[in-house]
Structure 1
């Protein structure tokens, strides 16, 4: 049995649930968008935001969920793809076709939606909504998944997709590392050290590299432990370490949080997957729609802001609890529809198209 498949089942529902919750945490963090004046933050009354007493942690720290996304990706990629790439069981064409079919269709669709909505919003208000660099140059960067590679002049179009842009670079580095390097794990540790030294310069890329490979090393460590000790002791030890780490360091030290606390949280959840599975199975659908909810929430915000500006005097309405409930209901509903009727069909069609092209190329050479 493959090493990476021997300690975990084919799907970790608890990590799916964590990914879904993290995507919604970003939406809470971005609720402040409704109080921007053009591209500048407005006078936000932070503690007056809807249900702040319940979701205050998300309102204050939801932006950090992007680093958690990167760590989750690193953990999952090291688990599912690392050894398969090293052995040659997974080809480069297969790996990148799967990644492209997963991320590109919805990215392109939401980019187009934001381009249209920003045009409408700018004509109506005279300013772009939050992210101002919506010109041809940045449009080209977005089409080629490059709005966060250091070529940009600022935030543009569906700006939350910056993390998708960095993920594309991480996919390439991960592939090269596991396919061609004899020492992927030591080199991963070296890359973590370099990214930590450079951070926070080139914030987007260094955060991605740092968090992704910390998550990947987290998988290496927890897999090693589970192969040598009973899972209940590993789960208990990691849970104690995780709780102790959050108690000691809290949420206000970025490098410790990204390097230690997020990976440790993922490791503890993965090690306790059997205990968590009954509840996690019921929440895993949040993970299924996490990509859609992450990419759809900003265009939906532009649409909501347009409606509010037209029919409601001022943005004070976004302090009302009913607006948050309505927004999340529409977002989750739209994400469910998008996942079922757009993401999955496009993914299947692109993968089938790629297989047919590959098969036709092989036949032609024969």
Structure 2
């Protein structure tokens, strides 16, 4: 048996994305303080405008692969088109993560957006609930969120192997949104702590962030899945909090223009990496086995992701948000049809 667990733990870093999501939304949406209906509606539309254009692009790019896979399994029958319609619709409306049979039914990374849709829906209410909590309460809630995140995986490991290794049960624990909302909630709590403590920056936080990042990488490579699930949550919490308060080489490098651009394009990278890798394997089979072709694929994927961000995600997001604000403005609502 290999001493490395990288493949087994390869899906765990999405936990960092969920925690970061709660942190960033809390930091960037102070208008949620009053949680008035117009602000909540604008928040929901803003999130839709941010994620859906690239998500839809990934859905479209993956569609021929789904069709060919289902055709190979079921032939060109009525069942093929019924399955295609079912999986397609449930993925388009971001409900796929709710059942083990559909979580990976279309573009695999889409399951996390299915979970994020639930997080976004609950954010105004979680924000209001957590906004005036004391430091002690927020720390206690982060601990409770950690337990809520770890217990399902720990429970699986304690079940008889015939049940604990059941595909449907593992998929349920890994993907169902309600079992992942603790990670998002911990990110909100962490942002409340950060905002309550003056936001002073220091080199010591830069060093601590580097240590937390190193620890997370070591855990992903060397720890079994249960231990990794228990250790990565606190490592990610420390990493993100320290980066927010860091001033030094690591934070400076991450804040440089090239790294900011890569960060902005990372969503497109994440959504497109699976379908583009499937196509790459069809054209260049060695991309899955040889380092040089794989590196070439990563460079092409990075370029495509940056292009998608600059030409699709960014302009469409800005257009949709502007159109929404215009449609909701009193002048637009009251202006008569014959006005010039």
What's the TM-score once normalised by structure 1's chain length? 0.68
Question: How far is the alpha carbon of 1:272 from its aligned partner?
Answer: 0.8
Alignment of 1:329-340 (within 5 A): 329-340=299-310
Q: How many pairs does the alignment contain? A: 300
Q: 1:320 aligns with which of 290, 295, 300?
A: 290
Q: 2:152 aligns with which of 173, 179, 199?
A: 199
Q: 1:135 aligns with which of 73, 80, 84?
A: 84
What corresponds to 2:187 in structure 1? 215
Question: How far is the alpha carbon of 1:122 from its aligned partner?
Answer: 5.3
Q: Is the 8 A contact 1:114 1:158 kept in 2?
A: yes
What corresponds to 2:127 in structure 1? 178
TM-aligned CA distance change 1:341 to 1:247, over 3 Å: closer
Are 1:102 and 2:102 matched, yes or no? no
Are 1:67 and 2:41 matched, yes or no? no
Q: 2:246 aligns with which of 248, 254, 272?
A: 272
Question: How far is the alpha carbon of 1:46 from its aligned partner?
Answer: 8.6
What corresponds to 1:10 in structure 2? none
Q: Is the 8 A contact 1:121 1:302 kept in 2?
A: no
| 1:64 aligned counterpart, secondary structure | coil
Question: How far is the alpha carbon of 1:105 from its aligned partner?
Answer: 1.4
Unaligned runs of 5+ in 1: 1-44, 48-55, 309-314
Question: How far is the alpha carbon of 1:289 from its aligned partner?
Answer: 0.5
Are 1:358 and 2:306 matched, yes or no? no
Are 1:115 and 2:26 matched, yes or no? no
| 2:96 aligned counterpart, secondary structure | coil
Q: 1:85 aligns with which of 14, 32, 44?
A: 32
Aligned equivalents of 1:177, 1:221: Cα separation in 2: 15
Mean Cα displacement is larger for which, 334-343 or 113-122?
A: 113-122
Alignment of 1:243-254 (within 5 A): 251-252=223-224, 253-254=227-228
Aligned equivalents of 1:184, 1:95: Cα separation in 2: 23
Q: Is the 8 A contact 1:218 1:264 kept in 2?
A: no
Larger RCO (CA within 8 A; separation ≥ 6): 1
Unaligned runs of 5+ in 2: 154-171
Q: Is the 8 A contact 2:194 2:241 kept in 1?
A: yes
Aligned equivalents of 2:31, 2:211: Cα separation in 1: 31
Q: Is the 8 A contact 2:190 2:237 kept in 1?
A: yes
Q: 1:149 aligns with which of 90, 98, 111?
A: 98
| 2:325 aligned counterpart, secondary structure | helix
TM-aligned CA distance change 1:168 to 1:328, over 3 Å: same
What's the TM-score once normalised by structure 2's chain length? 0.73
| 2:314 aligned counterpart, secondary structure | helix
Are 1:261 and 2:235 matched, yes or no? yes
What corresponds to 1:159 in structure 2? 108
Aligned equivalents of 2:279, 2:317: Cα separation in 1: 27
| RMSD (CA atoms) | 3.9
What corresponds to 1:343 in structure 2? 313
Aligned equivalents of 2:2, 2:281: Cα separation in 1: 18
Mean Cα displacement is larger for which, 321-330 or 159-168?
A: 321-330
Q: Is the 8 A contact 2:62 2:106 kept in 1?
A: yes
